[in-house]
Chain A
Amino acid sequence: MNYADLFRVTLPETALEVAALLVLVVDLGLLRKAALNLRIGVATLLGVIGCGVAQWTIAHQTLIGLSDTSGNMVLVAGGSAAVAQAGILGLTVLSLFLLIDSTFTRHAGEFVAVMLMAATGGLLIAAAQDLLVIFVGLELLSLGLYILTAFAKQSGKSAESAMKYYLFGGMSAAFLLFGFSYLYGITGSTNLHQVMVGLYRSNAVQAAPLLYIALVMIVAGLGFKVAAVPFHLWAPDAYEGAPAPAAAFIASVSKVASFALLISIGTAAWHMFDGAPMRVSIHAGFVARPQPVYLGFLVAWPELLMVLAAVSMVVGNLAALAQTSVRRLLAYSAIAHAGYMLLGLAFFSYGPRSAQAILYYILTYGLTTVGAFGVVAVVERAAGSDKMDAFLGLSKRNPLLAGVLLVLFLSLAGIPPLVGFWAKFNLFAAVLGVYPVGAGLGLVILAVGLSAVSLYYYLQVLKRAYVMPAVDNTPLKVHPLTMLVLLVIAAGVVVLGCFPALLQGWIASFYTSM
């Protein structure tokens, strides 16, 4: 490792940090007396520029990663990491746009700065190949999220949900660290690849009880981040209490980062011997045995993920049926979507297919959900509540906004030709590609069946927007820039859905250039 390489690999993170500091300097230094709208605008603009620069550095990255002195990867560039990082930056930009015209805080600069710093944590997680770096990244992201959740100081709910989020998060971080420490104890390394190799070499049976404890702890910690049942309890409260841009950020960016981490773990487990002579025999072993066995990881890891996936899909979808608050509904639907993606991770392919399918899913889901929070935020600002009844007559009050809502929610429900359907098809096809019988098939059937259930609750909201009589017919004003962003998101959902090869090709291009 040399410092020049470190600097080059962490250029995107650096760009975001510089932007965050610049936002603080400009907002607190130059614009102290300026009107709130101007300050929000300037802060958002600086944040967007920062994300753009970071994106540019990713696109022009020439290194494949950063190795430590013994040749182990610490941070990677390219492949899944680059896709996830690009997604994180894009979704951060969209979340920032939701800040426009909002009134929940007077501290625009701090809000944007914290968001950018949290996004830095996300970038680190996506690239990290070392348990310690992973942990630092996760903490950086999480601490930012707690602050963002609590940012609406006038709202008791915001403080309450942030407190809950913080307590749950602190606990789960402790679990995660505990699990990591066991892994280190068993294998003597903190590098993901070395951990996998070590687990394999230690003939993991001897270490089984310890390894199981470690894996359960790690699953608990990461399950919290992706809001998988039974570690999901924070999600509905956080989604409900957090200010809209923060909620969108939690629902999208934080999810992308966490799933990128899970992909890194899966990839490391599969590819630990790449380049070594053992590869051939292992590969042959895989063909003979269709069950996804992460060598050294034993069967415990996929099985834990399978359980988590099944429970999340069932609980998420069924609990969403009973919600009256749209934000809580989105939270439970997020839990269900996390379940689908965990299914993809439980049946992870040797080739990049599963990773690409999961990335496709999480990026498009993030896009859709940011848009959904945008619409909710607009309606909430007008009606003072996020109850379903606040959406009554939306198609009369603002047909354009209702159209956006229609597209986004149908996409979440997985109706073709919208992008949500492609994401699901792609993911389930990848799962069946790995394991077309037994548990794989059973869980895919469960997932497809439950997505039929999900249509019901999405239609409940759309029914209020389109079908049921309006209570008040006054037109609903939307800031033109907000409307433009929402329209762009909806158009993206439609276009990417009609031409799915666009995004697939883009994701695949990062793999070929590796």
Chain B
Amino acid sequence: MLAWTIYLSFAGALIEALLPKRNAALARWFALTVAVTGLVLAVLGFAAGAGSGYLRAVIADVPWVPAMGIRYTLAADGISLVLVLLTGLAAVAGVLFSWNIELRTNEFFAFYLALIGGVYGVFLSADLFLLFVFYEIAIVPKYFLISIWGSTRREYGAMKLALYSFVGSAMVLIGLLVAYAASGSHSTGLVELARAGLPVSTQLWVFPLVFVGFGILAGMWPFHTWAPTGHVAAPTAASMLLAGVVMKLGAYGCLRVAMAVFPHGMDPWGFSFIGIGSWRDVFAVLAVIGIVYGALVALVQSDFKFVIGYSSVSHMGFVLLGLMTLNQIGVTGAVLQMFSHGVIAGLLFAIVGRVVYERTHTRDLSELEKMHLGKRLPFAAWAFVIAGVASMGLPGFSGFVAELQILVGSWKADPWWTGAAGVGIVVGVAYTWRALQKAFFSDRLPTPEEHPKTGWPKFAAITWPEVAGVSMLVAASLFVGLYPRILLEAIEPAVRALLAGGAQ
């Protein structure tokens, strides 16, 4: 049943491309139908996952290229289910926040649904080759979504994103080829590769290659630079998807491929240099740097969207740090953080890119300061307050549960990491507060010549898709924050199995 999320999205993309060009409303409603159906399937799949104890359950398994031992295998465990659920949510929200797209509407939704299909595919693949195919399928629609419907320096941002992704996937491809050759060219199944007993010397160099390859898309410092430019250039729905699910593709790949197939790549080198003695230490330090660096850079941005863009780098640093703790609680927290950040970042980008920017036509914080948005756009202000506190990690929202678990996990691994990441949290409060204050609640009054004579012009009214989208995402974050067990029950057994190196 879950497999239909993939087929449905691709079929939807194809049909969108063939729909009549003039009828934008039809394209929208059709896209919404497809996205909602996908979400419903994801929810049903999630509910059904309890039946297998959220352990790996094979959905489809047929030979694909028999001569090379490549199979078309889809499977889902708790981790996949949570991320599929996230994809469903983000997809529906993305369609809602793209309701006002008038330019080449059907093409927009065609690329959009193709991207969604690729993302579903990655999360459900149980064959490294298949996973790679879906991973690459997701690259091309991103390029077109940004370069056609984007804003600020869109062609630059789109090309940068596409090339970064492609370089990352080239690194993954090398890892795939080496693993395939070294395991005797029998299979590319994730489980089979993990059990193939690849030589430790090979794992030691393939692991960092694959981890960085996926890490690029997860916004790992110092390969994160595509993320802010890409997010800023992208149209709202695309930046929601980029931050919401595409960055998770990278983190998911790090976990599912790099760490599960090449676990000995994280073994100690046998020597240490300023306290760093394995690839695990290297990536944990990079993650911590990402957390702090992203937060500090977000603190001084003048473009509202850049603030959110860099905050994504910071939050994804938490995910990578959680993965590198290699203990149950830390990795569980990382997976939960993927979900949480997906929802919250999507919400933030939606508010900034759609609710605010489409009305003010500026994202410059010093311009927004003069506009009294707190009074003139109360809906946006309220929504941003909620999203902001969720992003800071206030108890009651999903981010709190996730980041707490990551910090506990990292304390067990190395208390220094926790200390440094804590700095990131504090700065996180600061940049969110600064953006909130400048954009919505500034007390800097406009000078008389800036003040319009006939009173402030009315902004276009808030539309129902915006309200629906915001409510949905806020509800998701709040629900998971108040009742995290619903996801944790799914994540924990899957993470335990994966860390044990058994059934993945």
Expressed in whole angstroms, the Cα–Cα distance for A410 and B159 within the complex equals: 15
Q: Which of B135-169 contact A (CB under 8 A)?
A: 136-137, 139-140, 143-144, 147-148, 155, 158-159, 162-163, 166-167, 169
Q: Are A410's CB and B66's CB within 8 A? A: no
Indicate if B182 sits at the interface (CB-CB under 8 A): yes
Minimum distance in angstroms from A428 CB to a CB of chain B? 5
Indicate if B487 sits at the interface (CB-CB under 8 A): no
> Hey, what's the 0/1 contact readout for B153-192 against A, CB within 8 Å counting as 1?
0010011001100110110011001101110010000000
Indicate if A10 sits at the interface (CB-CB under 8 A): no
Residues of B within 8 A of A501 (CB): 63-67
Minimum distance in angstroms from A473 CB to a CB of chain B? 13
Residues of B within 8 A of A429 (CB): 68, 177, 180-181, 185
Q: Are A505's CB and B170's CB within 8 A? A: no
Q: Which of A313-357 contact B (CB under 8 A)?
A: none
Residues of B within 8 A of A444 (CB): 174, 177
> Hey, what's the 0/1 contact readout for A438-454 against B, CB within 8 Å counting as 1?
00010011001101100
Q: Are A508's CB and B67's CB within 8 A? A: yes
Q: Which of A417-472 contact B (CB under 8 A)?
A: 417, 421, 425-426, 428-429, 432-433, 436, 441, 444-445, 448-449, 451-452, 455-456, 459, 463, 466-467
Q: A415-B136, A436-B181 are in contact. Are A452 and B68 (CB under 8 A)?
A: no
Expressed in whole angstroms, the Cα–Cα distance for A428 and B173 within the complex equals: 10
Residues of B within 8 A of A445 (CB): 174
Q: Which of A467-514 contact B (CB under 8 A)?
A: 467, 500-501, 504-505, 508
Indicate if B196 sits at the interface (CB-CB under 8 A): no
Which of A421, A452, A501, A508 counts the most chain B CB atoms within 10 A? Answer: A452
Expressed in whole angstroms, the Cα–Cα distance for A504 and B67 within the complex equals: 8
Indicate if A285 sits at the interface (CB-CB under 8 A): no
Q: Kindly identify which residue among A403, A426, A451, A466 contacts B148, using a CB–CB cutoff of 8 Å.
A: A466
Q: A449-B170, A452-B170, A455-B162 are in contact. Are A505 and B67 (CB under 8 A)?
A: yes
Indicate if A416 sits at the interface (CB-CB under 8 A): yes
- Majority secondary structure, A binding face: helix
Expressed in whole angstroms, the Cα–Cα distance for A445 and B210 within the complex equals: 13
Q: A432-B177, A459-B143 are in contact. Are A417 and B170 (CB under 8 A)?
A: no
Expressed in whole angstroms, the Cα–Cα distance for A102 and B147 within the complex equals: 35
Residues of A within 8 A of B139 (CB): 415
Minimum distance in angstroms from A191 CB to a CB of chain B? 32
Residues of A within 8 A of B67 (CB): 501, 504-505, 508
Which A residue's beta carbon lies closest to that of B143?
Answer: A459
Residues of B within 8 A of A421 (CB): 133, 136
Q: Are B178's CB and A456's CB within 8 A? A: no
Expressed in whole angstroms, the Cα–Cα distance for A416 and B185 within the complex equals: 20
Indicate if B132 sits at the interface (CB-CB under 8 A): yes
Q: A417-B133, A428-B177, A467-B144 are in contact. Are A433 and B185 (CB under 8 A)?
A: yes
Q: Are A504's CB and B65's CB within 8 A? A: yes
Which of B63, B65, B139, B143 counts the most chain A CB atoms within 10 A? Answer: B65
Q: Are A416's CB and B137's CB within 8 A? A: yes
Q: Are B177's CB and A425's CB within 8 A? A: yes
Expressed in whole angstroms, the Cα–Cα distance for A467 and B136 within the complex equals: 20
Q: Which of B100-139 contact A (CB under 8 A)?
A: 107, 129, 132-133, 136-137, 139
Minimum distance in angstroms from A183 CB to a CB of chain B? 34
Minimum distance in angstroms from B133 CB to a CB of chain A? 4
Which of A395, A416, A426, A456 counts the most chain B CB atoms within 10 A? Answer: A416
Residues of A within 8 A of B180 (CB): 429, 432
Expressed in whole angstroms, the Cα–Cα distance for A448 and B132 within the complex equals: 14
Expressed in whole angstroms, the Cα–Cα distance for A416 and B173 within the complex equals: 12
Which B residue's beta carbon lies closest to that of A422?
Answer: B65
Q: A467-B147, A501-B64, A508-B67 are in contact. Are A441 and B178 (CB under 8 A)?
A: yes
Q: Kindly identify which residue among B17, B68, B163 contacts A455, using a CB–CB cutoff of 8 Å.
A: B163
Expressed in whole angstroms, the Cα–Cα distance for A507 and B252 within the complex equals: 37
Expressed in whole angstroms, the Cα–Cα distance for A441 and B147 within the complex equals: 35
Expressed in whole angstroms, the Cα–Cα distance for A353 and B137 within the complex equals: 27
Expressed in whole angstroms, the Cα–Cα distance for A433 and B184 within the complex equals: 8
Minimum distance in angstroms from B163 CB to a CB of chain A? 6
Residues of B within 8 A of A416 (CB): 132-133, 136-137
Q: Are A452's CB and B148's CB within 8 A? A: no
Expressed in whole angstroms, the Cα–Cα distance for A467 and B162 within the complex equals: 14
Expressed in whole angstroms, the Cα–Cα distance for A416 and B158 within the complex equals: 19
Which A residue's beta carbon lies closest to that of B139?
Answer: A415
Q: Are A448's CB and B174's CB within 8 A? A: yes
Q: Kindly identify which residue among B63, B140, B155, B173 contacts A410, using a CB–CB cutoff of 8 Å.
A: B140
Q: Are A463's CB and B177's CB within 8 A? A: no
> Hey, what's the 0/1 contact readout for A200-236 against B, CB within 8 Å counting as 1?
0000000000000000000000000000000000000
Which A residue's beta carbon lies closest to that of B163?
Answer: A456
Residues of A within 8 A of B170 (CB): 448-449, 451-452
Expressed in whole angstroms, the Cα–Cα distance for A448 and B170 within the complex equals: 6
Expressed in whole angstroms, the Cα–Cα distance for A432 and B183 within the complex equals: 11
Q: Are B185's CB and A415's CB within 8 A? A: no
Residues of A within 8 A of B63 (CB): 501
Q: Which of B423-467 contact A (CB under 8 A)?
A: none
Minimum distance in angstroms from A226 CB to a CB of chain B? 24
Minimum distance in angstroms from B124 CB to a CB of chain A? 15
Which of B17, B173, B178, B182 counts the most chain A CB atoms within 10 A? Answer: B173
Residues of B within 8 A of A504 (CB): 65, 67-68
Minimum distance in angstroms from B189 CB to a CB of chain A? 15
Minimum distance in angstroms from A414 CB to a CB of chain B? 9
> Hey, what's the 0/1 contact readout for B195-221 against A, CB within 8 Å counting as 1?
000000000000000000000000000
Residue pairs across A and B with Cβ atoms less than 8 A apart, 19 shown, are A421-B133, A425-B173, A429-B185, A432-B178, A433-B185, A444-B177, A449-B167, A452-B166, A452-B169, A452-B170, A455-B162, A456-B163, A463-B155, A463-B159, A467-B155, A467-B158, A501-B63, A501-B67, A505-B67
The 4 closest A-B pairs by CB, nearest first: A432-B181, A416-B133, A452-B170, A467-B147
**Which residue numbers of A lie inside 8 Å of B, CB to CB?**
395, 403, 410, 415-417, 421, 425-426, 428-429, 432-433, 436, 441, 444-445, 448-449, 451-452, 455-456, 459, 463, 466-467, 500-501, 504-505, 508
Given contacts A417-B133, A421-B133, A459-B143, 4 further A-B contacts (CB under 8 A): A421-B136, A433-B181, A452-B169, A467-B155
